[in-house]
Amino acid sequence: MKRIIVGIVSHGHYDYIVNNLALKSIVEIPEVTVVIKDNIKDSKLKSYAEESGFEYVTTPKILGFGDNNNYIFHFAKKNLLANDNDWFIILNPDVEITLYEFKKLITELNTTTDTFLAPNLYKDNDYIEPENSIRYFATCFDLLNPLRLKPINRPYKKELLENKAIVDWASGAFLCITFKMFGTVDGFDSKYFMYYEDVDLCYRLKKVGTYLKFLKRVKAVHKGEYKNRSVFSKHFRWYLSSLFKFLSSKK
């Protein structure tokens, strides 16, 4: 049976992690290990992680989203002896998946021949309001979309997609990838501190023939904060910077 390493990066997300009660049940599954990468060395989170049976790791310096997940990847390879066929789950601290849905995910991961998958994210616990977490790659022409009151990153219509449909990219809030494929492209690109590292990862994997597939039947809830939405915020500036980095890398 394949092992599953769930990587969660916390940057002051103690409350999200403590209130995610399903995680304490998920970590009890024999083949699952939950790794918490604490970006700010929160002593309360350290104690909670150790009490809950999670692996807890830190680094001397604060890292961006991509580098934090790369650190978890290398930690799992070296310290947890994860092999190429094991699964690396990139999970935001503000994403919640029930034990029932996670067991469905395990079944998918143990039976599929695919190597890169994205579960179906929703905004509510009743799975009524879907999140636009599956999108097309942006082009330079899409920069004009806001003038037409459309998003730069055009979302797929999830209701029209079949289970396991091939898609361009999915939110890094919840991605499942084998250790082999993540290592093949050297993980996330460090030039992205925040935003678009997930888009870039999907793009580089597609270039080497690894296509992302949409796990429509596995559901989770993303309680995202969407800090990049305000044009006056530093998050929006980071978002634009990362967008132009990605568009220039496609040339």
**Domain ranges across the chain:** 4-138+153-226
Cβ(179)–Cβ(77) under 8 Å?
yes
pLDDT in tens, 118-175: 999 999 999 999 999 999 987 666 565 655 666 667 899 999 999 999 999 999 999 9
* Cα separation, 226 vs 113, whole angstroms: 33
**Per-residue pLDDT band at 221 (split at 50, 70, 90):** very high
Instruction: Give residues with Cβ within 8 angstroms of 25, minimum separation 6.
Output: 99
Average pLDDT of the chain to the nearest whole number? 89
Residue 132: phi and psi, rounded to 5, are: -80, 65
CATH, range 4-138+153-226: 3.90.550.60
d(CA 154, CA 236): 18
Burial class (CB in 10 A: 0-12, 13-18, 19+), 214: buried
Instruction: Match 């409350």 to its residue by tokens.
Output: 15
**133 to each of 106, 199, 216, how far by Cα in Å?**
21, 11, 12
Res 160: pLDDT = 97
80, 174 Cβ separation under 8 angstroms: no
pLDDT value at 102 more than 90: yes
Alpha-helical runs (H) found in the chain: 14-19, 22-26, 43-52, 65-79, 99-111, 179-184, 197-207, 234-249
In sequence order, which residues have a C-beta less than 8 Å from that of residue 144 and are 6 or more positions away? none
Q: Please return the burial class of 246, using the count of CB atoms within 10 Å of its CB with bins 0-12, 13-18 and 19+.
A: buried
pLDDT of residue 232: 46
Q: What's residue 244's pLDDT?
A: 55
- CB-CB neighbours of 141 under 10 Å: 7
Average pLDDT, stretch 221-234? 63
Would you state the pLDDT for residue 231? 47
The pTM score is: 0.89
- Residue range 230-240: average pLDDT? 55
Between residues 228 and 221, the one the model is more confident about = 221
State whether the Cα torsion 10-33-130-164 is positive or negative: positive
Residue 150 CB contacts under 8 Å (≥ 6 apart), including other chains? none
pLDDT at 195: 72
Model pLDDT for residues 64-92, shown as the tens digit of each residue: 899 999 999 999 999 999 999 999 999 99
Asked whether residue 234 carries a pLDDT value surpassing 60, the answer given is no
Q: How far apart are CA 161 and CA 147, in angstroms?
A: 28
